[in-house]
Amino acid sequence: MKSSPFLIALAAVLLAGCASIPPARLQLPDGLDARSEAMNLGPFGPGRKGQAQIDGRELRYERSASRLDLFKVYASDKAALRFQLAGVEADCGVRRRELSVAGITASQPTQVHCQLSPLVGLVLRAASSPGRGLEPRPAGELVLTDGRRLQVLASFQIQGTPLPSGEPMGYLFAEQGRVVGAIDTNNRTAYLPRGDAALREACLRAGLALSLLWMPDD
């Protein structure tokens, strides 16, 4: 049986429309877009190793992920990331554990520890979806050696919809309650603070780590 030219044309139009649908984006807090510098991070390939040009500097990275599963009783997920940006190294480790006994499962949420440079550290833990409402959830800290501590907030808010995502769309970096930067991990776009070189570098390196890490599913 011959295919109808009309159906073939319709299918082509529908496929073209699907291909042009942009990916979901993180909803930024009011004013952040105007007072920050948007920077695309990537593209990154799907492999364990790669390189890219970021902020006019060479990025090299290597990452891994593994899972140990003992008789469906104990499971341990691990992931690691090491990258160099203009020769300055960063090192990250991820861990998640789960124990199941008599149908009852207890799990330790995903935890991330990064030394992003000699001057910046990142500690992150998994944040559950808010279910109702769109308020960002506390997820960790970004620590600078000059004494500043930025709160890291997991954001589940999708641009253009009142419904939250089931997984974080990205993370916000807040200093003394004011959001100064963000990383849209779904699109690998960083929003970097202006006028503070140390803070900009810290947010950039945190954004790179959160974009490159292979995170286990909670």
What is the average per-residue pLDDT within 136-151? 93
Q: What are phi and psi of 129, to 5 degrees?
A: -60, 140
> Does the residue 91 lie in any domain?
yes
> Does the residue 217 lie in any domain?
no
pLDDT value of position 193: 96
Residue 122 contacts residue 143 (beta carbons within 8 Å): yes
Domain that holds residue 36: 24-212
What are 179's strand-pairing partners?
174
Task: Tell me how many domains the chain contains.
Answer: 1
pLDDT value of position 131: 60
Count of all residues that appear for the chain in the document: 218
Q: What are phi and psi of 101, to 5 degrees?
A: -135, 125
Token code pair at residue 146 = 């000059």
pLDDT value of position 67: 87
Q: What are phi and psi of 102, to 5 degrees?
A: 50, 40
Q: Left, alpha or beta for 187 (phi > 0: left; psi -120 to 50: alpha)?
A: alpha
> Does the residue 1 lie in any domain?
no
Burial call 59-69: b when 16+ CB within 10 Å, e when fewer: bebebeeeeee
CA distance 154 to 64: 23
pLDDT surpasses 50 at 138:
yes
Q: Which residue has the tokens 């000059």?
A: 146
Whole-prediction pTM value?
Answer: 0.83
pLDDT value of position 173: 97
> Does the residue 160 lie in any domain?
yes
pLDDT bucket at 179, cuts 50 / 70 / 90:
very high
> Does the residue 32 lie in any domain?
yes
pLDDT bucket at 149, cuts 50 / 70 / 90:
very high
More confident residue, 92 or 135: 92
CA distance 23 to 164: 15
Burial call 181-217: b when 16+ CB within 10 Å, e when fewer: bbbbbbbbbbbbbeeeeebbbbbbbbbbbbbbbebbe
CA distance 185 to 26: 8
